[in-house]
Amino acid sequence: MKRKAQIGLWTSLLLLVSALLLNGIVFTNAFAHLPHTPHYNGGSNRDGVGKYYPYLALDPEYTQPDYPTQIMFSIQDFGGNDVYNIATMVEIYDEISGNRIKVFPWTLHEIGDFEYYYTFPRVGNYQIVLSVATDNAKIDFGQFDPPRSILGSDNDCACDRAIFNITVSNTWGTYEIRFSQSP
């Protein structure tokens, strides 16, 4: 009887330790340092941007035109670790015209988590382009590169670039239920 009790105790202990380990693996937040799981991970390149992996989230998540939007970035290394002293430039392009409508100049961020605010002017699709300076790049902070016709191009830029496609709409989350009457 004593042996059965010992086996039961060891089995219970093993199950408890396994559950705690799985909890740490399965339920780990995998959305960088953002308030929710971002829909815009890694930009157009699933392999990341150079030696980093960028995340982008919007707040509100379903953005409407003429409403202030927080554009949040979390840039990490491929091990999920914070990165420090990272130089970036962020551009917003209108998909229909192809014109750059906003640029946030080259900025040195103490950590890879940062945000900008922007109010999108109309319903439609936009590209947010994140440029990350490569190691030893000579960057003119406070300045910005000219607009590009090929958004992913790094010509004349000592940088790696990611393109995030976003949609701005008036109807996010709106549901309308209509009942029709039979004659």
Average the pLDDT over 129-142 and give the result: 89
What is the spatial distance between Cα 47 and Cα 78, in angstroms, rounded to a whole number?
Answer: 9
What is the spatial distance between Cα 15 and Cα 9, in angstroms, rounded to a whole number?
Answer: 10
Average the pLDDT over 61-80 and give the result: 89
Task: Look at 7-16, 43-52, 99-108, 168-177 and tell me which has the smallest mean pLDDT.
Answer: 7-16
Given this model, what pLDDT does residue 29 score?
40
Any bridge partners for residue 65, and if so which? none
What is the spatial distance between Cα 74 and Cα 76, in angstroms, rounded to a whole number?
Answer: 6
